[in-house]
Structures are given as structure tokens and as C-alpha cells.
Structure 1
Amino acid sequence: MASQVFLHIGLPKTGTTYLQSVLWGSKRALTKDGYLLPGQGHREHLWAALELQDRPHLERRDPKAPGALARLVAAVQRHKGPAILSHEFMCGAGRDQAGQLIESLAPAEVHLVITARDTLGMLTAGWAEYVKNGGTKPLAEMRGERIGGQGEFGWRTWDLAGVLRRWARHVPPARVHVLPMPGPGAPRDQHWRNFAGVLGLDPDRYDAPDEPRNPALGVVQIELLRRVNPRLTAFHKPVDRGTWIRGYLAEKHLVRQAGERLGADDGQIAECRERADRAVAIIERRGYHVVGDVEALRVPRDLPPRPRPDAVSDTELLDAATTLVADLLADARRTGREGHPT
């Protein structure tokens, strides 16, 4: 059985893609250092996170998806050194589900690793990610545990206090590690360095990319995508949404357009402040291990004015849409130079 298991359970939009890219890109180095990162790729950890939460019809994602959780746990049980499981959707698991997973890893010493950020940033970035995955609800309607029936989008996974209540009860406080995202002035690889330190890795032995893996869209561009999504009725499978809406439209084309960061309404800002204050109070009261500045989890009192998606004008949307059409046509010509349109 593994000596230690590091469960990196999220939260979403807290640099998880960046950290996971370092892990999966360094699997050989991890093995050389005695660490197990089980599975063939990050998708297996995604499937395991969904299976942990009893999501139905996993076979629609991939025929290999059912049973992913049991396979990863079995691999951990066979390993003699430290092991790492990492996916941000794990944080959506219920209290009993979390407890069952941790119990299944006994007698290993289980550590919870929770990357986090200020709650307002979580809301706006989480909504943008929801839209990039085909979502259609406006930001003003993003309230509740699950949005549009998708458990990974909503306060179920965005609320740090709720995640701590469900998960942290199953391990000693000293083994709950909260990693606030470093601020803008920090070194580019500081998040990786903090994460590696918790895992007991030498961060300099691993290649950490300089650029973020999940580039953000501007408020006009994300609102345009939200309005396009209802028309994309053929893209109903998760793999289609991820490949074409998120990957192709959003992260290949719309991200090229310069845009302003989006803002939320006053009511949502107030709610985010309350949720952040609750999370910080829990962390301080229970004595969890914090790597970084716990105050970075609070919503700043002085916020710069930022445009809300519902204030985007038709003129701005039209300008973004015409630019997108031109980019798509140029891309179509590049990919089909050997032939002609039919």
C-alpha cells in the first residue's frame, strides 16, 4: 500500500490545469522520485472524480470510463511509496463519498490538497468555464449548488467552506493543505513551488510552464459565446463540447481578441464576500495548513470597476462576432488548402 496519498481535489479555476500539466508532463521524473501518478492520463482522474459522485452514463464519455476509480485505487494499493490523485471535480463529492474514498486508501496517510482563490474570482471564472463548456445561463442567474444540472458548475464546487466541511472532517487538520493562488506580483512558478512543497517534491527538478493553461476570455467574448451556445445543438457530448466549443471556438479563436475582465453585480459580490469570510474563519479555527496568504481568499474591499456581461452592447457583440467569422474563414482556408469548398 502507498505510504502517503495526496488527494488534490480542486477547487476548479485555481490553477489546477497548470499543476496537472506539470505532473503529467513529468510522470517519468515522478516515478524516478518514487511517486505514483496512476493511470494513463488526466482523463482517468476526471472519470474517477465523476464516478466517485455516482454520475450516470460514464460510458458515454469513454468505454473505459466505468471502473476508473477502482482501477486508480488498486494501483495506489499496489504502490509502496507516495501517490498522487488530482482532479478538481473531486471537490464536488458528498461527505460520505469523500469518506469512502479516504477509507479505501487506508492504511496510507491521506493528505488533502486544496488549491483556492478569492470567491468573486471563483464565481466569474467558474461562470466563464461553464459557458466555454456549452452553458447558456447568464452570470446574474448563477446561483445555487448545481447550475443546469452540472454538478461541477455552481457553489457545490466553488464554495471553499462547503468543500472543507465535506472533506476535511475525514483527516487530521495538519493533513489539510490549503494553497491560495499567488498574487500577480509572485514568480510565475510560485503556485507550482507551493504545490510541490506540500507533496515533498523538489520543484526545480520539474519543468513548469510560464504561461497559464486556461487563458481567460474577455467579457464581450464570453457573452458572445453564451449567446451562440443555444445554436450548437449538435455538440451535446462532453467530448464535443470540450473539443469544439471550449477548445476551438473559445481557446483557439475568441481568446485572440483583446477583452476586459468581467465583473459581477453588487448582490453577487456581497454573497462572495460572505462565503469567503466563512471559509477563512473555518481555516483559522481548525488550524489547517496554509501555504501562502490566507487573506488572499477574501474578496478585496476596493474592487476596480469591471463591465458585467449583461451590460455588453449589441455593437460590441457584433464587432466580436464579425472578427470571429473572419478568423474562422481564414482557419478553414488554412486547413483545406489542398482542396476547394464544396
Structure 2
Amino acid sequence: MVDRIFVHIGLPKTATSYLQTILWSNRDALREQGIVLPGAERRDHLWASRTVRNDRHAAHAPEEHRTAWPRLLAELADTPGTGLISHEFFAAASRKQARAMVEALPSPEVHLVVTAREPLGLFAASWQESLKNGETTPLADYAREVSRSSNAIWNWRTLDLRLVLQRWSAAVPPERIHVLVLDPGAPRDDVWNRFAGILGLDPASCDLSGSFPNSSMGVVEAETLRRINGRLEGFTKALDKGVYLRTFLADERLVPRGGDRFWPEPDQIEECRQRARDAVVHLADGSFDVVGDLAHLLVPEELEERRVPASVTDAEVAEVAVDLVAVLMGDVRRLRRRQRRRDDASPVRSALRRLRPRAED
């Protein structure tokens, strides 16, 4: 049985994909240093979070998904060392769900790791991520209220550091809650080095070459994706969203276009400022282990001028959409040619060609 367990709960859009890519591509190096990353694949931690949060879709999910949480618990119970669970969707758990999760873990010593960043950039990035997951809400209407549902990921429920800490402090004492504040001016590997330090890992022992930043779309590209989502039919499963919307359409075709960066509406910016101040006060008044500079959680008073998504015109969307159709036409042609070559190379097709009578016969 592991002697202690670290649970990394996000927040979402705080270098979580970057960190998880490093962890899963270096499992052997982690194990050599006594870190147990349970599960067969990275998605096991996602599926476990759905069970913990009583996700409304979990009961009807495939058995592989439904059994992820008990499989993680069994592996942690059967393996010595330090356990590590990491997924940002755990941040949405209620107080009751957080307590139940911690009580189920096979170790009396549970630590929480919370990665955090200033709320304005976080808010804009999370709206983009919601679009990559098929949402259609305009940024001006995004997260206007704090959801009471533990299924609400793209909401202040998971984005507000103070609210997340208040819920999870009911399950883990503040002195065992490590808040890692992202430094916006630091090299990319800074967050990994400090994350590894919390775990007691040698950061140089892991290969970072497979890691990557989660890039953003420009404002017109984001608005185009939002409108496309409103026309799509049948792309509701997690696989469809992950493979076709997030990876194929957004990350591989819209992100490379670049485009103008953007802010939310002015009143949303002020809300981000206030939530940042509240989080800093909450951390300063508690006994949390803060790794980093609390000042990096504050939204600057002076911001560069940027557009808002509501300023995007139909003509701009049409231009991106036409370019996108042209790119997709090339994709379709390449896929068909590839399929044709595979068909031609198949044993059955080769046998049929040999049996076909020649013209001179």
C-alpha cells in the first residue's frame, strides 16, 4: 500500500495537460523514484473523476470507464510508494464528494496539489476549451453564475480558486494543500520543476520532449468554431469531441491560423479582478502551502487593448469558414487516396487482380 497520496485537481487550463503528458510519458522514471501513477492510461483518471463526481453519464458508460476508480484504488492499495492521481475535473467536486474520495483512498496521508493562474487569462482560455468541447455559449454570456452542479466544468465552480479551496479544505487540511502559482514570465518547464519539487521528484529525471503547450485560437477562429458547434449533429460523445472537435478541427486547423487575441467584456474583466483579490486574501489568511508568488494571481490594472468576441463580423467568420472548407477538401482527398492505397495493397484485392483475365486472352 502507498504511504501517501498526492491528488492533483487542476484548476483547468493551468498547464494540466502539459504536466500530465510528462507524467504519463515517464511512468517508469516515476516508479524508479517511488511515484505510483495508477491506471492503464491517462483517461483512467478522467473516468475516475466522473465516478467521484457522480457524473450523470457515468452509469451508462462502458465498463472500462465505470471500473476506472476502483481499479485505481486497488492498484494504490497493492503497491508501495507515493501515489499520484491527476485530473483537472476533480476540481468540480462538492464538499461531500471530496470527502468521500479522500476517505476511499488507501492512505491516511493525502495531499492536494492545486495549480493556479490569474483568473482573466484563465477565464478566456476556459471559454475556448468549452468550445473545443462542443459548447455554443458566447463569451459575453459565459459563466455568469456559479453552478451548483459537480458536472459543470467550464464555470467559475472550477475556475475560482477560492471556491475550489473552500470545498476541498473540508477533505484535506490546508497545511497539506499545495497551491502552485504559475509564473507567466517563467520558462515553460518552470511549472514542471516546481510540481516535481512538491512530489519530491528529481525534475531532471524525466524527459520533457513529448510535452507541448495547449495553444489558443484567435478571436475570429474561436467565434467560427462556436458557430460550427451550433450546426453539428451527432458529435456528442467524448471521443467525437476529443478527436474531431478539439484535435482535428480546433488544434490542428484553427489554432495554426493564429489570429487576434481577445478579452471578455469589461464587466467580466472586473469580476476576474475581484475573484483574484478574494483568492489572494483567502490564501494569505490560511495555512496553505503556497508555491510561488501570490502577486501572479492578480489581474493587472493596466491591460493591452484587445477585441471582444462580440465584435467579430459575419464577413470575418465567412472568410475563416471558406478557408477551412478548402483545407478540409485537401484532407478528404488525402484520406481517400490513403484508403485507396490500403485497399489496393490488401491480399484480397491482389488475389482478385491475379484472377482477372488479361486483355490478350
Shorter-chain TM-score tier: over 0.9
Deviates most, 79-88 or 329-338: 329-338
Provide the aligned length of Structure 1 versus Structure 2: 339
Distance 1:41 1:102, change over 3 A: same
Alignment correspondent of 1:233: 233
Which amino acid counterpart does residue 300 of structure 2 have in structure 1? Answer: P
**Distance in 2 between residues matched to 1:154 and 1:198, nearest whole Å:** 27
Per-residue CA distance 1:109-157 (angstroms, 9 max, x = gap): 1110000111111111111000111000101111123499951111111
Q: 1:318 to 1:147 in 2, by over 3 A?
A: farther
Aligned match of 1:144: 145
| Structure 2 residue matching 1:304: 3-state secondary structure | coil
Q: What residue number does 2:310 align with?
A: 310
1:178 matched residue in structure 2: 179
Distance 2:17 2:61 in 1: 20
CA contact (8 A) 2:181 2:291 kept: yes
Distance 1:5 1:150, change over 3 A: closer
Identity of matched residues, %: 43
**Residues 146-173 of structure 1, C-alpha deviations (whole Å, 9 max, x = no match):** 4999511111111111000000233232
Q: TM-score, normalised by structure 1?
A: 0.94
What is the CA–CA distance in structure 2 between the aligned matches of 1:150 and 1:75, rounded to whole Å?
26
User: 1:116 and 2:154 equivalent?
Assistant: no
Q: Distance in 1 between matches of 2:149 and 2:141?
A: 11
Larger radius of gyration: 2
Q: Is the 8 A contact 1:59 1:65 kept in 2?
A: no
Contact kept? 1:6, 1:199, Cα under 8 Å: yes
CA distance in 2, matches of 1:113, 1:318: 43
- Which runs of 5 or more structure 2 residues have no equivalent in the other structure? 342-361
Q: Any conservation in 2 of the 1:182–1:292 contact (CA below 8 Å)?
A: yes
Cα shift at 1:102: 1.2
Find the aligned partners of 1:80 and 1:237 in 2 and give their Cα distance: 37
CA shift at 1:60, angstroms?
5.0
Task: Give me the TM-score of the superposition, normalised by structure 2.
Answer: 0.89
Q: Structure 1 unaligned segments of length 5 or more: list them.
A: none
Q: 1:52 to 1:80 in 2, by over 3 A?
A: same
Partner of residue 254, structure 2: 254
Please tell me whether residue 278 in structure 1 is matched to residue 278 in structure 2: yes
Match of 1:171, SS state, is coil
For 1:257, give the aligned amino acid.
R
CA RMSD of aligned residues (A): 1.9
Give 3-state SS (helix, strand or coil) of 2:9's partner. Answer: strand
- Using the alignment, how far apart are the partners of 1:147 and 1:258 within structure 2? 35
Match of 1:169 in 2: 170
Question: Per-residue deviation at 1:335?
Answer: 2.0
**Pair 1:153 & 2:131 matched:** no
Letter in structure 2 aligned against 1:86: S
